[in-house]
Amino acid sequence: MAGIKEHDYLKICAELASCLSISIAAATKKIDIAAAKEGAKDVSSRKQIAESLLKKAKSIEAKNDGTMSNQLDNLLKALAEEENFLVED
């Protein structure tokens, strides 16, 4: 499918990508998949789906008191008992 060139749609895609810490291409793919599930084909319905995904991502971000990248950073921190663990000899 050719890329949609509507400014508002692309802006929402960029906000979603920023909120989820993913690329714009991944955000548009996420919207495309959601639109395909709902059978949406026109730009206005895709824009509504993108807005709903953005609202959902922002509510999750607000509930977790931080961005998705902060959550990943917290998950990657080593616990005190695991700091000196070696995988290989």
Query: Does residue 44 lie in a domain region?
Result: yes
- pLDDT of 27 reads 92
Query: Does residue 15 lie in a domain region?
Result: yes
Q: How many domains in the chain?
A: 1
Judge contact between 43 and 10, C-beta under 8 A.
no
Residue 5 to residues 2, 11, 15, 36, 74: CA-CA distances in angstroms?
9, 10, 16, 19, 37
- pLDDT of 81 reads 65
Query: Does residue 65 lie in a domain region?
Result: yes
Quick one: pLDDT band at residue 80, thresholds 50, 70, 90?
A: low
Judge contact between 53 and 30, C-beta under 8 A.
yes
Q: Which domain holds residue 71?
A: 7-78
Query: Does residue 89 lie in a domain region?
Result: no
Query: Does residue 63 lie in a domain region?
Result: yes
Query: Does residue 41 lie in a domain region?
Result: yes
Query: Does residue 83 lie in a domain region?
Result: no
- pLDDT of 83 reads 66
Query: Does residue 19 lie in a domain region?
Result: yes
pLDDT tens by residue, 8-59 = 889 999 999 988 888 999 999 999 999 999 988 888 899 999 999 999 988 8
